[in-house]
C-alpha cells in the first residue's frame, strides 16, 4: 500500500510521546516506517517550588499535537485519519499523579470523571524527596531514586499533605493519559518499574516491598493499601484497552477519528528509547541524550549490591535494566549556542541554527582532549547522581588553562555526558557488566559524529547511531503499538531484530585512545571541583 492507502484503510499505527519540551506524534505504516508527524512545544512550570505541567496543558498539548498531525496528513496525502490500527502513549517517566473523588477539577474534564487530580503533577525533575528516598532505600535494601513515584508518595506522607488519605489512584503521566483515553488503569512494566520496583520473575510489582511499604505507613490508618491504588502492571504485546468514544474526541477534537482501536501498554520514555534503538536484548544498551539523559544497559544478571547512582528498571517486556539517569544534558549548551546566535544577529548575519550547531560542534573536535583544563557544570536543575539538590550552571577555569572557542564548546559537550560517565564507570569497572552494542539517540547526536565521539570517549565504548534515531520515543511507542497487533507470536527482542530493524545496527564510532585519556583527565578535575558547585548551590539564592 502507499502511505495514503494505508491511512484510508485504517492500517496506520499512531505513537504519541510527551517529552520534556515537546509532544510528538508519529504515524507509521505496516512496514513500521514513519509516514506523518505532528508536534506541540511546551515547557514545565515552577509552581510553589514544584516542577509541573497543568492538566489543561496536557490535554491542550495532546489535542494540538494531533491537530498538527492531521494537518500534516492533509497536506501530504489529501485525506483524513478516520480509523487507526492501534495507538500507543508514552511520556517522561516517574513523577507523581494522584487522583481521588475530591480532587481539583480541571478545565475541560468530562462529565462523569469521578476521580480528579489531588495535587499538581510532580515531574521527574523534582528533587525534594530526599528524606523519603533514603528511608525507602534502606527499608527495601534497594536504590529508590528521588524521582520515583513511591518516593513522591512517601514524601507527601512525611510532609503530612492533606490529600494523601483521599488517594484512589496513583499513576504516571503516560498512565494518566492512557486511562482517560481508554478507561483502563494499566501501565507498561517499564514505566511501572519507575513507580516501585518490579519483580522480573513475576512481571509484577515486588510483593515484598509492597508489603513493607504498607507496614511502614500502617500507623497512618489510610483507607487504602498500596496495591489498591497502583495501575495494573502489563508487558509489551498485551492488550491495554481500546480507544473510547470520549477518548477519540479528546484526541481528535475535529471529530474525524473513530473509537474502538486497540491500545498498547502505556510506556515511559526510557522504554520507548530502548525500542527505538533495538536495545531490549541482554548485553545491549542505549543512551538517550536530550533535555535529560539516561543510559539503559540490559543485564544478564542482577548487580552485586544496590548503588544510589544506578536505578534498576525493566525493558517493556520485563528484562532487568541498569539505568543511569541524569537530570541535565543539553539545556545549558543550547543556551550557550543561543548566545552565538544573538552575536550573529548583532552583526546582521543570517542565522541558520543547524549551521551554528554544526560549526561549533565540529570545531570542538579540534580542541584539547581534556578541554585544556576548562570544566563546565550544566546543572540547570538538581543532579542527584552528583549529589546536588539544586543546579547552578557554571564554567570553571584557571589562568593557565587553554581557554579558546574549541575547548569552551568541547567542555560543554563533555558536561552533557559527564554525570552519565560517573554512573556507567560503576557498571563497567566495578560490576564488570558486559555490553555488545550501545546505541545513541536524541538531540545530542543531531550533528553527525560529534556527540557520538564524545560519548564514545566518555564510556570508552563504540557508539552506534541509526538513521531512525532522530525519530525518538514517539516512533518507539508506535513500534510497541504495532507489536501489539503484528507480533506473529514473536518475543519483543526478536520482533525488533528481524521485523523492524532487519539487522541494521547503524553507523558505529569507536573511541580514540587519546580522547578516552583526555576525558578521564577531565572527569577527575570535574569530580575534584564538585565542592565548588555545591558552594554555589549553598550560597546563591
3-state DSSP assignment of residue 258: coil
Q: Are 61 and 91 in contact (CB under 8 A)?
A: no
3-state secondary structure (DSSP) of residue 23: strand
Same domain, 57 and 143: yes
71 shares a domain with 212: yes
Residue 474 lies in a domain: no
Give the pLDDT confidence of 220-250 residue by residue, as tens digits.
999 999 999 999 999 999 999 999 999 999 9
Q: What is the pLDDT of residues 162-185, one digit of tens each?
A: 999 999 999 999 999 999 999 999
Q: 3-state DSSP call for residue 372?
A: helix
Average pLDDT on 126-139 reads 94
Domain assignment present for residue 82? The answer is yes
Q: How many domains does the chain have?
A: 2
Which CATH number goes with the domain that contains 44? Answer: 3.30.420.40
* 167 and 238 inside one domain: yes
154/258 same-domain check:
yes
The half-sphere exposure of 457 on its side-chain side, counting CA atoms within 13 A, is 31
**In a domain? residue 443:** no
Q: Which has the closest alpha carbon to 447: 351, 364, 374, 376?
A: 364
180 and 98 in a common domain:
yes
From 223, 239, 270, give the residue that closes a domain.
270
Tell me the per-residue pLDDT of 347-393, one tens digit each, with 9 for 90 and over. 999 889 999 999 999 999 999 999 999 999 999 988 988 989 899 99
Predicted confidence band of residue 541 (pLDDT cuts 50, 70, 90): low
Domain check: are 216 and 128 in the same one? Answer: yes
Strands 437-441 and 463-465: parallel
Task: Answer yes or no: is 518 within a domain.
Answer: yes
| Whole-Å CA distances, 322 to 115, 357, 511 | 35, 32, 22
Residues 6+ apart with CB under 8 A from 97: 117, 121, 122, 170, 171, 172, 173, 175, 176
Last residue of a domain, one of 232, 248, 270: 270
247 with 336, same domain? no
Check pLDDT > 60 for residue 108.
no
Phi, psi of 426 (to 5 degrees): -65, -45
- Model confidence pLDDT, tens digit, residues 139-164: 999 999 999 999 999 999 999 999 99
User: Tell me: the pLDDT tens digits for 37-95?
Assistant: 999 999 999 988 899 999 999 999 999 999 999 999 999 999 999 999 999 999 998 89
Both 53 and 170 in one domain: the answer is yes
φ and ψ at residue 36, rounded to 5 degrees? -165, 155
φ, ψ dihedrals at 475, nearest 5°: -70, -40
Where does a domain end: 254, 270, 286?
A: 270
CB 379 within 8 A of CB 409: no
Distance in angstroms (rounded) separating the CA atoms of residues 473 and 271: 8
- Which residue in the block uniquely carries the three cell numbers 508536534? 39
The average pLDDT across 410-421 equals 97
pLDDT at 471 over 80: no
Q: For residue 106, what pLDDT is reported?
A: 56
Q: pLDDT tens across 198-219, in order?
A: 998 999 999 999 999 999 999 9
| 369 & 228 share domain | no
484 located within any domain: no
Q: Label residue 442 by pLDDT band (50, 70, 90).
A: confident
Query: Would residue 350 count as lying in a domain?
Result: yes
Q: Is residue 488 part of a domain?
A: no
Phi, psi of 535 (to 5 degrees): -65, -35
Is 38 in the same domain as 174?
yes
Question: Is 290 among the domain residues?
Answer: no
Q: Are residues 248 and 349 in the same domain?
A: no
Give the CA angle between residues 66, 256, 500 to the nearest 5°: 55
- 164 and 87 in a common domain: yes
pLDDT in tens, 443-464: 899 899 999 999 999 999 999 9
Say what the pLDDT of residue 111 is: 46
Residue numbers of the domain that contains 393: 331-421+513-539
Secondary element (H or E) of residue 182: helix 173-182
Tell me what percent of the residues of the chain surpass a pLDDT of 70. Answer: 98
Amino acid at each position: 500500500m502507499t502511505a495514503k492507502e494505508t491511512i484510508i484503510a485504517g492500517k496506520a499505527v499512531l505513537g504519541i510521546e510527551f517529552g520534556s519540551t515537546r509532544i510528538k506524534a508519529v504515524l507509521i505504516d505496516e512496514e513500521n516506517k514513519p509516514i506523518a508527524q505532528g508536534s506541540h512545544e511546551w515547557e514545565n512550570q515552577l509552581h510553589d517550588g514544584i516542577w509541573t505541567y497543568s492538566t489543561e496543558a496536557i490535554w491542550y498539548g495532546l489535542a494540538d499535537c494531533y491537530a498538527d498531525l492531521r494537518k500534516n496528513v492533509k497536506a501530504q496525502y489529501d485525506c483524513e485519519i478516520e480509523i487507526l490500527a492501534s495507538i500507543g502513549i508514552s511520556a517522561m517517566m516517574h513523577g507523581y499523579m494522584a487522583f481521588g473523588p475530591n480532587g481539583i477539577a480541571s478545565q475541560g474534564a468530562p462529565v462523569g470523571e469521578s476521580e480528579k487530580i489531588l495535587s499538581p503533577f510532580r515531574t521527574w525533575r523534582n528533587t525534594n524527596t530526599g528524606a523519603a528516598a533514603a528511608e525507602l532505600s534502606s527499608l527495601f535494601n534497594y536504590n529508590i531514586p528521588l524521582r520515583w513515584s513511591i518516593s513522591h508518595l512517601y514524601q507527601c506522607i512525611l510532609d503530612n499533605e492533606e490529600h494523601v488519605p483521599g488517594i484512589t489512584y496513583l499513576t504516571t503521566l503516560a498512565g494518566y493519559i492512557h486511562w482517560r483515553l481508554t478507561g483502563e488503569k494499566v501501565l507498561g512494566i517499564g514505566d511501572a518499574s519507575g513507580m516501585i520496583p518490579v519483580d522480573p520473575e513475576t512481571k509484577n510489582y515486588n510483593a515484598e516491598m509492597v508489603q513493607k511499604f504498607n507496614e511502614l505507613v500502617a500507623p497512618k490508618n489510610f483507607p487504602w493499601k498500596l496495591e489498591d491504588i497502583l495501575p495494573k502492571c502489563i508487558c509489551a504485546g498485551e492488550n491495554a484497552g481500546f480507544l473510547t468514544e470520549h477518548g477519540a474526541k479528546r484526541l481528535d477534537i475535529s471529530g474525524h477519528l473513530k473509537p474502538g482501536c486497540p491500545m498498547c501498554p502505556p510506556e515511559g520514555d526510557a522504554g520507548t528509547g530502548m525500542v527505538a534503538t533495538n536495545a531490549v536484548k541482554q548485553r545491549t544498551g542505549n543512551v538517550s541524550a536530550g533535555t535529560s539523559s539516561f543510559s539503559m544497559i540490559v543485564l544478564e544478571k542482577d548487580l552485586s549490591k544496590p548503588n544510589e547512582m544506578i536505578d534498576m528498571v525493566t525493558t517493556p517486556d520485563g528484562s532487568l535494566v541498569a539505568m543511569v539517569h541524569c537530570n541535565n544534558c543539553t539545556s545549558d549548551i543550547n543556551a550557550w549556542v543561543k548566545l552565538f546566535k544573538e552575536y550573529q544577529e548583532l552583526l546582521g548575519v543570517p542565522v541558520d541554527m543547524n549551521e551554528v550547531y554544526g560549526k561549533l560542534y565540529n570545531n570542538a573536535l579540534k580542541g584539547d582532549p581534556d578541554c585544556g583544563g576548562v570544566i563546565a557544570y550544566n546543572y540547570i536543575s538538581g543532579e542527584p547522581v552528583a549529589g546536588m539538590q539544586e543546579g547552578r550552571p557554571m564554567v570553571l577555569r584557571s589562568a593557565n588553562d587553554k581557554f579558546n572557542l574549541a575547548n569552551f564548546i568541547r567542555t560543554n559537550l563533555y558536561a552533557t555526558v559527564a554525570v552519565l560517565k560517573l554512573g556507567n564507570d560503576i557498571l563497567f569497572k566495578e560490576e564488570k557488566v558486559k555490553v555488545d552494542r550501545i546505541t545513541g539517540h536524541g538531540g545530542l547526536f543531531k550533528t553527525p559524529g560529534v556527540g557520538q565521539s564524545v560519548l564514545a570517549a566518555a564510556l570508552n565504548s563504540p557508539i552506534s547511531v541509526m538513521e531512525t534515531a532522530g525519530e525518538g520515543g514517539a516512533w518507539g511507542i508506535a513500534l510497541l503499538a504495532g507489536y501489539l497487533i503484528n507480533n506473529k507470536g514473536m518475543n519483543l527482542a526478536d520482533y525488533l531484530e528481524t521485523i523492524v530493524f532487519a539487522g541494521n545496527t547503524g553507523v558505529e564510532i569507536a573511541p580514540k585512545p587519546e580522547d578516552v585519556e583526555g576525558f578521564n583527565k577531565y572527569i577527575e578535575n570535574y569530580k575534584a571541583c564538585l565542592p565548588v558547585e555545591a558552594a554555589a548551590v549553598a550560597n546563591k539564592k
